[in-house]
């Protein structure tokens, strides 16, 4: 296990590759410095202390202007935890292209998002509304999104030797989603007082292969395995033509067993790669202890962006607390402080330098 330091946040050197994985226990955001002061951002989550996009908060802290430096914002899929404050992020990154699955600009999804956008309760699923708002921002800018399809590069920076290639969704998953979109509409004659159920399938999740020079990074998003050669990791593994291997893996689906495939570690990754996951701290928490042990069996360099925090009592002020106490009510705060793991590769360097924020930890210390 390498020396892990506490993070001293600073702007990377022009020739360094920096990967920052942010995960507050609900949501994730990945920032990659591809060189020459240029950044790409994959997914978006809300910084728990400031309620702003975590990517913007991080970049501002290291003295980077997101309106100039960010060249690509990509939504791996449209679930709430991957697009938190995405519209605000896209609005701030005025020099960036926006990329998402091609299915999200199809009428099936856009009309669904328009319907859900009519019920603006904060408790409603926010994912479709965020994507809808992003598309409206792009429409005002007259900027068409980059439509991502499997096995095609969708972002290039030749002068930096940077290429970003989508690995999913497969055609089967694409079609499955479009056919199922109508089932996601709220049922007619149900009241708008009822929360629309969270849409479940991760069919549209975009796994990505990022190449910067001779460094390869695998971002697993929320891709799951179904045992179907036309879907999930089986489809990705079947279509991966070249034999290059990644040095860094953002573990899929919060480290869950459903996001696991042995051949990811055997075929797509170097031996003993660096790996990082963002925990899921709601409901059935992820990763479980079994997930942790499984991942540790493949690599000794595994990290988690935040700790498994059990719900803690939240105080609201004396008068409110008195009222709650009188009614025998205790408010539980589910959200730990936002943490992140920072990977830095210097030119010609053999391995990643890893630094952790105070909230992040090595996976062997993660007590599920």
Site for other proteins in 39-68 (CB under 8 A): 46, 48, 51
Task: List the one residue out of 340, 347, 275 whose CA is nearest residue 7.
Answer: 340
Judged by CB under 8 A, the chain residues 4 through 33 that form the site for other proteins are 26
Q: Which of 30, 31, 100, 113 binds other proteins (CB under 8 A)?
A: 113
Map the footprint of other proteins across residues 158-177, applying CB under 8 A.
158-160, 166
Question: In this complex, which beta carbon is closest to other proteins, that of residue 124 or of residue 202?
Answer: 124
Among 39, 58, 78, 155, binds other proteins (CB under 8 A): 155
Of 106 and 294, the one with the shorter C-beta distance to other proteins is: 106
Compute the least distance from the CB of residue 106 to other proteins, in Å.
6
Looking at beta carbons only, is 3 or 318 nearer to other proteins? 318
Residues in the chain: 368
Q: How far is the CB of 184 from other proteins (least distance, A)?
A: 12
> Which CB sits closer to other proteins, 238 or 331?
331
Q: What is the DSSP letter of 111?
A: H
User: Which span sits near other proteins by CB under 8 A: 5-13, 199-207, 285-293, 322-330?
Assistant: 322-330
Q: Are 184 and 199 in contact (CB under 8 A)?
A: yes
> Least CB distance from residue 61 to other proteins, whole Å?
20
Applying the rule CB under 8 A, the residues between 134 and 153 that interact with other proteins are: 135-136, 139, 142, 144-149, 152-153
Number of shown-chain residues binding other proteins (CB under 8 A): 77
CB of 230 within 8 A of CB of 172? yes
Q: Which two tokens stand for residue 310?
A: 């059990």
CA distance 291 to 331: 30
Q: How far is the CB of 292 from other proteins (least distance, A)?
A: 24
Quick check: 238 binds other proteins (CB under 8 A)?
no
Q: What are the two backbone dihedrals, phi and then psi, of residue 268, each rounded to the nearest 5 degrees?
A: -95, -15
Burial label for 151, CB within 10 Å (0-12, 13-18, 19+), is middle
- Of 107, 90, 199, nearest to 145 by C-alpha is 90
* Full DSSP string of 107-123: HHHHHHHHHHTT---TT
Q: Is 195 in the site for other proteins (CB under 8 A)?
A: yes
Residue 296 binds other proteins (CB under 8 A)? no
First-to-last C-alpha distance (Å) of the chain: 21
- Residue 279 binding other proteins, by CB under 8 A: no
Tokens (6 digits) for 229: 């050669």
Q: Report the alpha-carbon distance of residue 46 to residue 110 in Å, rounded.
A: 23
Q: What is the nearest approach in angstroms of other proteins to the Cβ of residue 244? A: 19
Distance CA(77)–CA(333), nearest Å, equals 27
When asked if residue 367 is in the footprint of other proteins (CB under 8 A), the reply is no
CA pseudo-torsion sign 317, 319, 320, 326: positive
CB-CB neighbours of 290 under 10 Å: 12
Provide the minimum distance between the beta carbon of 100 and other proteins in the complex, in angstroms, as a whole number. Answer: 11
Q: Could you say whether residue 241 binds other proteins (CB under 8 A)? A: no
């Amino acid at each position: 296990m390498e020396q892990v330091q506490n993070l001293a946040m600073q702007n990377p050197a022009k020739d360094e590759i920096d990967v920052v994985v942010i995960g507050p226990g609900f949501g994730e955001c990945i920032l990659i410095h591809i060189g020459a002061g240029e950044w790409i951002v994959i997914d978006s989550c809300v910084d728990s202390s400031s309620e702003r996009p975590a990517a913007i908060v991080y970049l501002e802290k290291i003295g980077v202007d997101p309106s100039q430096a960010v060249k690509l914002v990509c939504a791996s899929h449209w679930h709430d935890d991957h697009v938190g404050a995405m519209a605000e992020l896209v609005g701030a990154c005025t020099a960036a292209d926006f990329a998402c699955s091609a299915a999200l600009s199809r009428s099936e999804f856009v009309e669904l998002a328009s319907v859900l956008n009519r019920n603006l309760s904060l408790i409603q699923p926010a994912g479709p509304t965020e994507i809808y708002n992003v598309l409206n921002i792009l429409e005002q800018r007259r900027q068409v999104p980059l439509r991502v399809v499997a096995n095609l590069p969708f972002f290039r920076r030749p002068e930096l030797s940077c290429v970003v290639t989508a690995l999913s969704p497969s055609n089967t998953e694409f079609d499955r989603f479009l056919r199922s979109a109508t089932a996601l509409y709220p049922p007619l004659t149900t009241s708008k007082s009822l929360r629309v159920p969270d849409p479940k399938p991760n069919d549209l999740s975009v796994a990505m292969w990022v190449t910067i020079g001779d460094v390869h990074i695998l971002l697993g998003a929320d891709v799951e395995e179904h045992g179907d050669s036309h879907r999930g990791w089986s489809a990705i593994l079947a279509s991966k033509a070249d034999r290059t291997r990644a040095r860094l893996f953002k573990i899929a689906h919060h480290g869950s067993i459903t996001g696991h495939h042995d051949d990811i570690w055997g075929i797509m990754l170097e031996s003993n790669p660096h790996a990082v996951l963002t925990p899921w701290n709601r409901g059935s928490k992820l990763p479980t202890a079994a997930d942790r042990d499984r991942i540790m069996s493949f690599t000794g360099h595994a990290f988690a962006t935040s700790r498994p925090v059990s719900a803690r009592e939240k105080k609201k002020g004396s008068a409110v607390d008195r009222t709650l106490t009188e009614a025998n009510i205790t408010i539980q705060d589910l959200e730990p402080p936002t943490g992140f793991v920072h990977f830095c590769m210097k030119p010609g360097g053999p391995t990643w330098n890893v630094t952790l924020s105070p909230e992040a930890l090595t996976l062997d210390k993660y007590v599920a």
